[in-house]
Structure 1
Amino acid sequence: MTTPAAPRITYGTVLGSPYVARLLGATLVGRLPNGMAPVAILWWAVAAHGGLAFAGLLSAVYGLAASLAQPVKGRLMDRHGQPAVHLPAALANSTLLAALPLTGSYGGPAAATAVVVVAGLTTPALETGLRALWPSVLPDPGLRHAALALDTGSQGLLYIVGPPLAAALTAVHSAALALAATAALGLLGAVVVASAPPTRRWRPATTAGPAAETARRLANPGLVLLFVALTGIGFAIGAMNVWAIAMAERHQQGMLSGTLPAAFSAGSFLSGLIYGRRTWPGTTTGRLIAATGGFLAGWLPLFALPGPYAATAAIVLPGAFLTVVIACAFVTTDTLTPTGRTSEAYAWLLLSIGTGTSAGTALAGRLAEQPIAGAALPAAGAAFALTVLLAARRRLATACDRPRRGRHRRPARGRHRAR
């Protein structure tokens, strides 16, 4: 007798499952400010205060503040549910982004910095929330694997659409309009996500007795080393964003500031579509390290200081490996995280990437006038990430090769299984 082949997973099946399209689409809209805000803040600061160094610093501060607040929001979601956290944060964030241009007339750099910090701190944790929702929305492991890859890869759309949209609105009208559009999209997406039935019903799994004490201990050496490595991934992304701005100024082609990040993200999006369609051989740890090596190799052509067209083509390659790195990092985090702390752990993962992104943005802003240094920074971040992962390989492999158990309580009502 032969065992029948498992049904082929398609993205149509995933998106056709109840609530998946709504949650994924609304989360992307609500997170579009992640791609728009740094560019809009950069261009507004250059116009209002002059100098790419301060503009890069202000953009880095926004990203750092957004990242630092993620674990707090993750812990709050684990305790109080997602709508109670998403809605107030989205309202505050959107209000502050829309009001930022007023500081140019009434407050100067100090007021602008304060507004950017608070706006970053109140960024809704939509990505963290969505990753925590997948086990209850898609109980089938095959569908969940495809959804995670689609989710991770579609993040590229944030940077395919976001930076060019912010740059276009700035060029056609003003950076103030770009900031207003950023605020409106962020609020709209958060409201749609927070009002979805799976979001309102979701609660994390809970434990009692001795297991509850274990659940309180989130940190472990493998998880810490993974998060340290991911700061290098974020550093490369942050340096790339400023390198794109510097390329735009050097070649006097303003749209390059959006086109280069968009090409990077296009590679991420396409690789996500490929990665999620099948089950890959080998271990999660092996794929994580191999993809990080590819991510590093993808940045090396920038050392040749290519022109606009060559740079746009070259930057697709590191983007293609980014999706696999992030998807494997989330799976590893889920494996290493105790029951009841998943949202918080995901938030720490995003904090690690965001902290690295802010550091890369700030340092690249300081070195923007030095083409070779600016082109080398993304590779330096990727090399750091690969070095840490190789050092942590034994710890990560031991944990990820253990059988995995479910970590989330499924909703009591409205469960749906894909057939």
Structure 2
Amino acid sequence: MASRPTVDSPVVPARVGYVPLLRTPGAWRFLIPAFVARLPYAMLTLGIVLLVFDTSGSYGTAGAVAAVAAVAQALVGPQTGRLADQFGQSAVLLPSVLVHAASVGALTALALGHAPVWTLFATAATAGASVPQIGAMVRARWVARFDDRPGHLSTAFAFESVTDELTFVIGPVLATAIATTLAPAAALATEAALTVVGGLVFAGQRATAPVRHPRTAGGQRVSALASPGVRLLAGSFLGVGTVFGAMQVSVTAFAKAQGLAGMSGTVYGVFAGGSMLAGVLYGMVAWRRSARTRLLASYALLVLGCSTLWAMPDLTALAAAGLGCGLAIAPTLITGYTLVETLVADGAKTEAFTWLTGAIGLGLAAGSVAAGQLIDLSGPRTGFLVPVVGAGLGLVALVTLRGLLRGSTSRGRTVASGGGGRRGSLESRRVSATLD
């Protein structure tokens, strides 16, 4: 008789192909509008950089304004996720998309009118705070659908990471193309329109939304950050975010210095394309190494790839180096989301995913500001030192505190067991299949 799976001898869940996953009833009804609504996330920061630089002439100012939007998104996003867990996704999305569109419109008008910088900061903060947390909400829908089938859930997370990277392939190229052929303001107008259309249609797909978990009188609120493992993963995703932020600003500046400003979106798209390719392949493999080991390995490769960017002599070489760097992004994110899903109770799933997304946004902000300042002081090549430092610090944190991820196994089982015997058993199998 087969032995019972344990933490020390993990069971590899049967890997489910992408086609069977996409045949899930109702999947396409929320995936298509979700993609439309997620695409602007990859356009907002670059769109702000292009617009503010065009009106101010300073990469430092452009990076700072974009950073304010990213910081606001990182800080407010998890609160939005918490409200979605409590009141439902549609109730949160409807006001968010409308406020976001209005804020982007105000930011654009103020930038074109050469208003004081502090007004740009204020409107950028509102625009960032109102970014719909579509990615986290989609992942929460997959969890609600496949909570008892780890093979399906792992493939779903891989698919979501690939979707994220696809938006970062298309988004920057689209934003750059619109900004250079029409005007930078038109790029942000497109971002706002896509957010409204995609967000409202996604909000209307209520049948696939996860069950609400309203607070009861006297009940204790479940916090995703109560888990040390979640905090560690959020910190490591902060390092990944610095790679995104510094790359956007540095590639834009480097391309302009080479006299090929219109190619910046394409070069950044190659970087994101490498991540997308790695995500597709990663989701097709039934991994036998533990998720913790895979996370450390992919993060180390990310640091190694980032260390080559500053030395590239031209855009072609930079695109090739960016491709290699991007190959480590998706495996890192997929594994991180797989780990964090097991660390929190059902009433905090969306919040937990949003903390990781918010950490990326916060890192993006730090990377944008640091790279912008370095570029203004010492030229575009120095901006590529920021990803090495940011990702390097993330790797140090993961290696030093990796025991927190091992210790989270018992926590995941304890959280799940509160819902009943069958639920606890299912959670135990999922944890055993994904962690050490």
CA distance in 2, matches of 1:361, 1:255: 19
Question: In the superposition, relative to structure 1, how do residues 221 and 6 fare at CA in structure 2: closer, same or farther (>3 Å)?
Answer: closer
Find the partner of 1:126 among 131, 134, 151.
134
Find the partner of 2:22 among 4, 12, 15.
15
Question: In the superposition, relative to structure 1, how do residues 302 and 391 fare at CA in structure 2: closer, same or farther (>3 Å)?
Answer: same
Offset of residue 401 of structure 1: 7.8
Match of 2:173 in 1: 164
- How many residue pairs get aligned? The number is 405
CA distance in 2, matches of 1:29, 1:370: 36
The Cα offsets for residues 54-78 of structure 1, whole Å up to 9 and x where unpaired, read as 1111111111111111111011111
Match of 1:376 in 2: 385
Unaligned runs of 5+ in 1: 410-419
Question: In the superposition, relative to structure 1, how do residues 242 and 400 fare at CA in structure 2: closer, same or farther (>3 Å)?
Answer: farther
Offset of residue 206 of structure 1: 7.8
Offset of residue 310 of structure 1: 1.0
Offset of residue 408 of structure 1: 12
SS of the aligned residue for 1:336 comes to coil
Offset of residue 23 of structure 1: 2.2
The Cα RMSD (Å) is 2.7
Unaligned runs of 5+ in 2: 3-11, 420-436
Match of 1:193 in 2: 202
Match of 1:352 in 2: 359
Report if the CA contact (8 A) 1:136-1:408 is conserved. Answer: no
CA distance in 1, matches of 2:269, 2:47: 15
Match of 1:416 in 2: none
1:111 aligns with 2:129: no
- How do residues 257-276 of structure 1 correspond to structure 2 at under 5 angstroms? 257-276=264-283
Report if the CA contact (8 A) 2:225-2:231 is conserved. Answer: no
Question: In the superposition, relative to structure 1, how do residues 59 and 246 fare at CA in structure 2: closer, same or farther (>3 Å)?
Answer: same
Question: In the superposition, relative to structure 1, how do residues 289 and 94 fare at CA in structure 2: closer, same or farther (>3 Å)?
Answer: same
Offset of residue 162 of structure 1: 0.7
1:395 aligns with 2:420: no
CA distance in 2, matches of 1:408, 1:46: 53
Sequence identity (%): 31
- How do residues 301-320 of structure 1 correspond to structure 2 at under 5 angstroms? 301-320=308-327
Question: In the superposition, relative to structure 1, how do residues 16 and 298 fare at CA in structure 2: closer, same or farther (>3 Å)?
Answer: same
Match of 1:414 in 2: none
* Higher mean displacement: 110-119 or 69-78: 110-119
Find the partner of 2:333 among 326, 338, 342.
326
Offset of residue 159 of structure 1: 1.5
Find the partner of 1:68 among 50, 71, 75.
75
Match of 2:9 in 1: none
Q: Which amino acid aligns with 2:407?
A: T
Q: Which amino acid aligns with 1:304?
A: A
The Cα offsets for residues 5-35 of structure 1, whole Å up to 9 and x where unpaired, read as 9986221111121122232232221011111
Report if the CA contact (8 A) 1:284-1:400 is conserved. Answer: no
CA distance in 2, matches of 1:287, 1:206: 36
TM-score between both structures, scaled by the size of structure 2? 0.86
1:244 aligns with 2:261: no
- How do residues 138-217 of structure 1 correspond to structure 2 at under 5 angstroms? 138-139=146-147, 140-199=149-208, 201-204=209-212, 213=220, 215-216=222-223
Question: In the superposition, relative to structure 1, how do residues 234 and 143 fare at CA in structure 2: closer, same or farther (>3 Å)?
Answer: same
* Higher mean displacement: 136-145 or 382-391: 136-145
SS of the aligned residue for 1:198 comes to coil
Find the partner of 2:99 among 89, 92, 98.
92
Question: In the superposition, relative to structure 1, how do residues 307 and 225 fare at CA in structure 2: closer, same or farther (>3 Å)?
Answer: same
Report if the CA contact (8 A) 1:205-1:340 is conserved. Answer: yes
Offset of residue 321 of structure 1: 1.2
Question: In the superposition, relative to structure 1, how do residues 215 and 69 fare at CA in structure 2: closer, same or farther (>3 Å)?
Answer: closer
* Higher mean displacement: 80-89 or 301-310: 301-310
CA distance in 2, matches of 1:239, 1:7: 38
TM-score between both structures, scaled by the size of structure 1? 0.89
1:136 aligns with 2:144: yes
CA distance in 1, matches of 2:234, 2:223: 18
* Higher mean displacement: 296-305 or 238-247: 296-305
Offset of residue 373 of structure 1: 2.6
Q: Which amino acid aligns with 2:335?
A: C
Match of 1:59 in 2: 66
Report if the CA contact (8 A) 1:283-1:401 is conserved. Answer: no
